[in-house]
Structure 1
């Protein structure tokens, strides 16, 4: 056997051995070596890097239960590692869904995500001009979400709020359904609402790198505007109508 061939076999054996060691290593030890985003913590990690789970993943103000993942061996051959991830117990207590995490050089990308969460969970995270609660199911269909130095580099997806309703000033108001598009604008994640809705609401919401949420748009009550919500227009927190009959919204 030539020296060159012997070195080739030796390097091949070493590569297989390293893959085996990584594959069988406890996931919690490998997670400890990974620099997670700021304020993100995994709790109760178990399993291996190929197939593992965490009891929860938390940030400074939120928690996702029952996270598990499965790494694709085939993706390693294409030098673009990817893992299928499932999370959550019920939309009523937190986000649930599934997605694929992939190394989209030089960034990390989320693909083919299907996420659901109760609307009230989202409202609790936002500072609003009036106290209100919300109900209905929010669904996110995310084809691509690539993040880098900014919160998003590339985004393509849709968001739907089904059977939406809010309760403000002890008044329960059914709002119908809302649909929107996801995109990147000025280094922020943007949600642009489809103006074809019962409220006559035209709104864009922006989420920045630090989690700050801003929104701007207009509310123009039309024939489908809920009658139970009309008294809210006279309370003044939306200001006065402009010459086109619109109330300006800015958060």
Structure 2
């Protein structure tokens, strides 16, 4: 009798799963596009085609304050069994010129979960936030992450900046390559342990980004640690960085111990 009950249970579960797949396959892609734009503030999708199950948007735009940034072609493939948990999950990707992203996203209300998520963008994207022009390649890897509204509830990832450079007038000044481990600070923000990988700039910094704790701070960042320049650094960098660091820190054997907040 127990065997028959289990057999019937799995049979009905299979039928429910099949029904969900059939339903999802017939729902238009616009439903998924609406869900993505609600889950990601500032995201807008156009030229939507396909279905809720698997679809794409020919043009994806992300608004950051007053700036609009193109993500290019946006694609998704829904995981139908995730509908049973009322937390829909999809594998998404976007690509445009030298930038790309791919990974798994799950959403429930304002909570968004990321897994095996990789983002590659040019450093010039940072021009949206900083009043300077940068070069190099930024790579973000989120092994696991949970975001609820503006709060970062969990994070395991890393960030790298390869071949970093700063535009000083008409010339580029090499900064080097940097890496950072990323974790949640348990207060809604992000901790980053940033180090240099042997380039012109010496960096061993603990960075905290938290707009929840510092809502009136336009950047929301606290930086502590050590920074300096090596003999191989550009002459302009050897003048500029020590001057800036000495204003907010104390001199050490390798550079300056600093603590900075906007």
Q: TM-score, normalised by structure 2?
A: 0.73
Match of residue 88 from structure 1: 95
**C-alpha separation between the residues in 2 aligned to 1:162 and 1:184?**
24
* d(CA) in 2 for partners of 1:32, 1:243: 53
Structure 1 residue 227: deviation in Å?
Answer: 3.7
SS of the equivalent of 1:226 reads coil
TM-score by length of 1: 0.76
Contact in 1 for aligned 2:189/2:208 (Cα 8 Å) = no
Unaligned residue ranges in structure 2 (runs of 5+): 1-10
Determine if contact 2:39/2:110 at 8 Å carries over to the other structure.
Answer: no
* Residue 162 (structure 2) aligns with: 162
Deviations 1:18-64 (A, max 9, x none): 65333212111454477444433222221101100112333323331
Q: Does 1:182 align with 2:192?
A: no
| Higher mean displacement: 32-41 or 177-186 | 32-41
1:1-251 pair list within 5 angstroms: 20-32=22-34, 35-61=38-64, 62-76=69-83, 81-91=88-98, 95-103=99-107, 107-122=111-126, 124-128=127-131, 132-185=132-185, 186-194=187-195, 197-198=198-199, 199-203=201-205, 204-206=207-209, 208=211, 212-223=219-230, 226-228=233-235, 229-233=237-241, 239=247, 242-244=250-252, 245-246=255-256, 248=258, 249-251=260-262
Q: Aligned-pair RMSD on alpha carbons?
A: 3.6
Which whole-Å CA distance do the structure 2 matches of 1:200 and 1:173 have between them? 15
Structure richer in strand, relative to its length: 2
